[in-house]
Homo-oligomer: A and B are copies of this chain.
Amino acid sequence: MRKLLLLQALFLTGAAAAGEGMWTLDNPPVETLRKAIGFAPDEAWMQRAMHGAARIAGGCSSSFVSRDGLVLSNHHCVAECLGELSSAKKDYLKDGFLARQRSEEAACPAMEIDRLERITDITKAVKDATAGLEGTAFKQAQNAVRAKITAECAGKEGSRVRCDVVDLYHGGQYKLYRYHRFQDVRLVFAPEQQMAFFGGDPDNFNFPRYDLDMSIVRVYEDGKPAHVEEFFPLSPSGPAAGDPVFVVGHPGSTRRELTTAQLAAERDIELPARLFRSYELRGIIERYRSEGAESARIANSDLFYIENSLKARRGMFEALVDPALMARKLQRETALRAFVAANPKLKATTAGAWDDVAQALETFRAFRDRWQQVEVGFAFQSDYFDIARRIVRGAAERRKPDAERLPEYNESALPQLQARLFSAAPIYPDYERLKLGFGLTKMREVLGADDPFVHKVLARESPEQMADRLVGGTKLGDLAVRHALWDGGMAAVEKSDDPFIQLALAVDPEARALRNRYESEVEARIQKGTERIAQARFAMEGTGVYPDATFTLRLSYGTVKGWKEGDRDVSPFTDFGGAFDRATGAFPFELAPSWIAARDKIDLARPLNFSSDNDIIGGNSGSPVLNRRGELVGLIFDGNIHSLGGAYWFDDRLNRAVAVDSAAILEAMGKIYGADALRAELLGGKATE
């Protein structure tokens, strides 16, 4: 009942519940903060928060923690890099990594860290460019104006500057986010994965928790550690229960503003289809992992990713089948529609917006499976295919003017695309066979054995035969081959006899047609609908509300606190002693040898993890938790199980963020890992040399 009342209050006044809200840094809820926690950050505080925080382009948050470019994030945010640096002989995921001197800091291929520098409102420019347009014309105009604005913003500094057009409130506002871009990122420290992810999948999204889910990298510029003015020194003591805390990070995606038709489509179609596929793939990879030490090493990070997203999506599904959620969303939507209906001007422009969105979704239902298989690429689940498609499409797109390209091939996007395309990360042929065989099998299952596209792709081969032939015949594992194809453009692509290049070429016409159909008949129509709904909401609620998460920098406030799980009080802190108590010796509850060896040195009563009622979601991994002085007291790495419904609503009674205590980071680096110089640098001392 209490939740419902609070949300009605929000609905009527625009005020958020305690803890709720992912606020953009140019629109912090100053008055609410003052009332809720008796403290509101001033402009200097906000500036420092903005420049101390950083985004990892692959999907994580992080922050600067020394003047010489040290960046703190989660272990799972650098797991890909650890995997890429590892081999059958040396497994850094298993053993951890510590650079004892600068020269040992190891480059992470394909890793990019971006620091937000400036936010500019470009709503008028974007809306003017698309005014009166529909379908393909709308989409093309929007792509063109975005390309133009980002190109002007980055100018000739593309390797150091990144500019993104950000869509807030589902078309209510458009903002230009200008970042300082770091593409030379080197690994400094990571603990053993079994300590970063102690408790594994069973404990994931659960609390109490005992994880040292941390990593440290350093950003370089011109071959030297980058000098940064604004960073967050680590608090030696961590926070206390009841302390107000701020999270400054990059929540990836929330869906709190969706229409009920969009929510129903997620519940009935999108989430189930994803979950069914991912559960099956998880089963295959689980068994593959059990086949040997090397297959375990190869599959490890994919399996982590799949299991993590399975749990997250399962939690989202369970929130959507909670009848209370849909009832509340419907109530809110009904009230907004009534507000629109009562206002003649709004009614004329906006009354049809909800039905437009619903009809676009209905249109989508007829071809979404095909679009997902062919254009999204579910049918061709393979690193080689991803490379081949980028090369094939890149050759076609780079011949066009910037404004006419698919957005991922805009000049401003090429640095990151090339970093991935030319990453030296190893590709494992047997594992590629497994994944591609799975993708092709599912394609046949979803589209049907008699489908013309399926016939064209498989001809008379079985999925396994085709996967064997393609993986056995490709040369795309060779970086020189990729460079030659990328540099050679369409002429080189068309001459290539590489089977993945030929596949990507063969399916591209149908894939592009499906993309175009999706963008014009579904995406553009939904966007035009939600733009109007956002304006109606502003008219009713004002602009003192926060927008859905978009993997852009947000401020969340809260306090360090536990919650009540049924009749049981969950304490907000765990300690090192708890990790030793929980260990069984069997995976995933097995302590690393370094911890067992250091047991007598560690202060077992020292806090290890804590929970707070900050409003976070996937993408916030690695976010700094700051106290009001701007010291880093914690490192977000997870939410509790109730936080998964946070995609759709925020339940302040139960939704909790989970962080590593800054005191635990310092304790572990000093007493377990012997990383004293690094520890000193984190406390504001000189850089390690």
Chain B nearest Cβ from A277, distance in angstroms: 8
Given the complex of chains A and B, what is the CA–CA distance between A201 and B286 in angstroms? 22
Chain B nearest Cβ from A291, distance in angstroms: 7
Chain B nearest Cβ from A202, distance in angstroms: 4
Closest to A288 in B: B287
Inter-chain pairs besides A264-B323, A283-B283, A460-B586, 19 sampled, C-beta below 8 Å? A199-B449, A201-B445, A202-B444, A202-B445, A206-B450, A275-B279, A280-B280, A280-B282, A280-B283, A281-B283, A283-B284, A283-B285, A283-B286, A283-B287, A284-B287, A287-B287, A291-B291, A460-B585, A461-B584
A317 sits at the interface (CB 8 A): yes
A321 sits at the interface (CB 8 A): yes
- Which 9 A-B residue pairings sit nearest by Cβ, starting from the closest? A283-B283, A287-B287, A268-B321, A462-B586, A279-B279, A460-B584, A283-B284, A280-B283, A202-B449
Given the complex of chains A and B, what is the CA–CA distance between A284 and B460 in angstroms? 27
Contact B272–A317 (Cβ < 8 Å): yes
* Residue contacts A-B, CB under 8 angstroms, 27 given: A199-B449, A201-B445, A202-B449, A206-B448, A268-B321, A272-B275, A272-B317, A275-B279, A279-B279, A279-B280, A280-B280, A280-B283, A280-B286, A281-B283, A283-B283, A283-B284, A283-B286, A283-B287, A287-B287, A287-B288, A291-B291, A460-B584, A460-B585, A461-B584, A461-B586, A462-B584, A462-B587
Closest to A276 in B: B279
Given the complex of chains A and B, what is the CA–CA distance between A586 and B317 in angstroms? 38
Given the complex of chains A and B, what is the CA–CA distance between A317 and B317 in angstroms? 14
B284, B434, B445, B465: the one contacting A586 at CB < 8 Å is B465
Closest to A307 in B: B445
Q: Mark A97-136, 1 if CB is under 8 A from B, else 0.
A: 0000000000000000000000000000000000000000
Given the complex of chains A and B, what is the CA–CA distance between A448 and B311 in angstroms? 13
Q: Which residues of A contact B (CB under 8 A)?
A: 199, 201-203, 206, 264, 267-269, 272, 275-277, 279-288, 291, 314, 317, 321, 323, 434, 444-445, 448-450, 460-462, 465, 584-587, 589
Measured between beta carbons, the chain B residues less than 8 angstroms from A267 are 321
Contact A279–B283 (Cβ < 8 Å): yes
Given the complex of chains A and B, what is the CA–CA distance between A460 and B585 in angstroms? 8
Given the complex of chains A and B, what is the CA–CA distance between A450 and B264 in angstroms? 34
Given the complex of chains A and B, what is the CA–CA distance between A587 and B437 in angstroms? 13
Measured between beta carbons, the chain B residues less than 8 angstroms from A461 are 584, 586
Given the complex of chains A and B, what is the CA–CA distance between A288 and B323 in angstroms? 39
Measured between beta carbons, the chain B residues less than 8 angstroms from A434 are 287
Measured between beta carbons, the chain B residues less than 8 angstroms from A280 are 279-280, 282-283, 286
Measured between beta carbons, the chain B residues less than 8 angstroms from A462 are 584, 586-587, 589
Measured between beta carbons, the chain B residues less than 8 angstroms from A449 are 199, 202-203, 206, 589
Closest to A465 in B: B586
Closest to A286 in B: B284
Chain B nearest Cβ from A535, distance in angstroms: 28
Measured between beta carbons, the chain B residues less than 8 angstroms from A288 are 287
Measured between beta carbons, the chain B residues less than 8 angstroms from A291 are 291
Measured between beta carbons, the chain B residues less than 8 angstroms from A201 are 445
Given the complex of chains A and B, what is the CA–CA distance between A187 and B49 in angstroms? 77
Measured between beta carbons, the chain B residues less than 8 angstroms from A279 are 275-277, 279-280, 283
Given the complex of chains A and B, what is the CA–CA distance between A285 and B283 in angstroms? 8
Measured between beta carbons, the chain B residues less than 8 angstroms from A584 are 460-462
Closest to A590 in B: B462
Closest to A290 in B: B464
Given the complex of chains A and B, what is the CA–CA distance between A286 and B288 in angstroms? 10
B203, B206, B276, B586: the one contacting A314 at CB < 8 Å is B276
Given the complex of chains A and B, what is the CA–CA distance between A444 and B268 in angstroms? 27
Measured between beta carbons, the chain B residues less than 8 angstroms from A445 are 201-202
Measured between beta carbons, the chain B residues less than 8 angstroms from A281 are 283
Given the complex of chains A and B, what is the CA–CA distance between A314 and B275 in angstroms? 12
Given the complex of chains A and B, what is the CA–CA distance between A445 and B204 in angstroms? 10
Chain B nearest Cβ from A193, distance in angstroms: 17
Chain B nearest Cβ from A211, distance in angstroms: 13
Closest to A587 in B: B462
Measured between beta carbons, the chain B residues less than 8 angstroms from A589 are 449, 462
Chain B nearest Cβ from A381, distance in angstroms: 13
Closest to A281 in B: B283
Closest to A454 in B: B202
Measured between beta carbons, the chain B residues less than 8 angstroms from A321 are 267-269, 272
Given the complex of chains A and B, what is the CA–CA distance between A272 and B275 in angstroms? 9
Closest to A459 in B: B584
Q: Among A283, A288, A462, find the residue whose CB has the most chain B CB atoms closer than 10 A.
A: A283
Closest to A461 in B: B586
Measured between beta carbons, the chain B residues less than 8 angstroms from A277 are 279
Given the complex of chains A and B, what is the CA–CA distance between A469 and B687 in angstroms? 52
Measured between beta carbons, the chain B residues less than 8 angstroms from A314 are 276
B203, B269, B276, B282: the one contacting A275 at CB < 8 Å is B276
Chain B nearest Cβ from A323, distance in angstroms: 8
Q: Among A199, A279, A444, find the residue whose CB has the most chain B CB atoms closer than 10 A.
A: A279
Measured between beta carbons, the chain B residues less than 8 angstroms from A283 are 279-287
Chain B nearest Cβ from A313, distance in angstroms: 10
Chain B nearest Cβ from A353, distance in angstroms: 20
Closest to A208 in B: B450
Given the complex of chains A and B, what is the CA–CA distance between A291 and B292 in angstroms? 12
Chain B nearest Cβ from A296, distance in angstroms: 13
Q: Among A267, A268, A275, A589, find the residue whose CB has the most chain B CB atoms closer than 10 A.
A: A268
Given the complex of chains A and B, what is the CA–CA distance between A607 and B291 in angstroms? 46
Closest to A583 in B: B460
Given the complex of chains A and B, what is the CA–CA distance between A444 and B584 in angstroms? 14
Q: Among A291, A314, A449, find the residue whose CB has the most chain B CB atoms closer than 10 A.
A: A449
